[in-house]
Amino acid sequence: MPNNENAPSIPHAVEQWLHTEVAAAYDELKTDPSIILTADELRASLLADAETGDPHLEGPPSTPDSEAVRDLRAELARGWLDSATLATHLHSQAKNKSQLASRYRKQGRLLGVWDRPRKRYLYPPWQIKNGQPLHQVKDLLALIRGAHGIAGDWDTSGWEEAGWFYAPLRLLEGKRPADLMASDADRVLDAARREFQDGPDARW
């Protein structure tokens, strides 16, 4: 991708998107609640989209990403761990290094994010401390993926959850949850409980 000195930075682009696109969409929903999809309608739409996915591909099917989305995801995923590197951080002695990561991901103990270009899951490193998954991660993912969370009780590629961790949160004084996990994961968990209990207005 060619350099462009006048192009907005990735963090600025994310902040601009949150305050223009997302905030505007939320205002539209408040004005006309009839446009809100029910859970069943949303699942039906997602299943219809999934029919275009490759049934032999390990990982969730999804629609093609725009170049801007791919660039943003690549920027966020810098330094994330693949399954083998994650196993090393967890001091695993298993021969199959991907097995431990897969088990923890399926148990909801770690957030795995599907990297479609390389057809593998990646793991943000702030989930690991002293060779173990942070215990707060499981509760956080349960909240984010629950009926009142961002994921709304349906399967995701992991990017939906990652979006919450990497967006500034008003309940954390504008800090990103991901930046506080290593030092104060309990504070992040408390903010998630308050946000998903109080509703989406809490994040602004």
Residue 75 inside a domain? The answer is yes
| Domain with 150 in it | 38-203
Residue-wise pLDDT for 99-138, tens only, equals: 899 999 999 999 999 998 889 999 999 999 999 999 999 9
Residue 93 inside a domain? The answer is yes
With a cut of 50, say whether residue 61 has pLDDT above it.
no
Residue 24 inside a domain? The answer is no
pLDDT > 90 fraction of the chain, expressed in percent and rounded: 43
| pLDDT at residue 139, as a whole number | 96
Residue 31 inside a domain? The answer is no
Residue 133 inside a domain? The answer is yes
Residue 14 inside a domain? The answer is no
Higher pLDDT, 52 or 2: 2
What is the spatial distance between Cα 195 and Cα 170, in angstroms, rounded to a whole number?
10
- Please state the domain count of the chain: 1
User: Any idea how long the chain is?
Assistant: 204
Confidence of residue 79 (pLDDT cuts 50, 70, 90): very high
Q: Rounded mean pLDDT of the chain? A: 76
pLDDT > 70 fraction of the chain, expressed in percent and rounded: 64
> Buried (b) or exposed (e) across 126-147, using 16+ Cβ within 10 A?
bbbeeeebbebbbebbebbbee
Residue 108 inside a domain? The answer is yes
How far CA 77 is from CA of 70, 123, 158, 176, in Å, comes to 10, 9, 12, 15
Residue 46 inside a domain? The answer is yes
CB 93 within 8 A of CB 84: no
pTM over 0.75: no
Beta-bridge partners for 122: 113
Higher pLDDT, 90 or 56: 90
Closest CA relative to residue 153, chosen from 77, 65, 40 = 40
Residue 156's Cα: distance from chain center in Å? 9
How far CA 69 is from CA of 16, 99, 159, 191, 202, in Å, comes to 14, 29, 11, 27, 25
With a cut of 60, say whether residue 26 has pLDDT above it.
no
| pLDDT at residue 125, as a whole number | 96
For residue 157, give both structure tokens.
């590629």
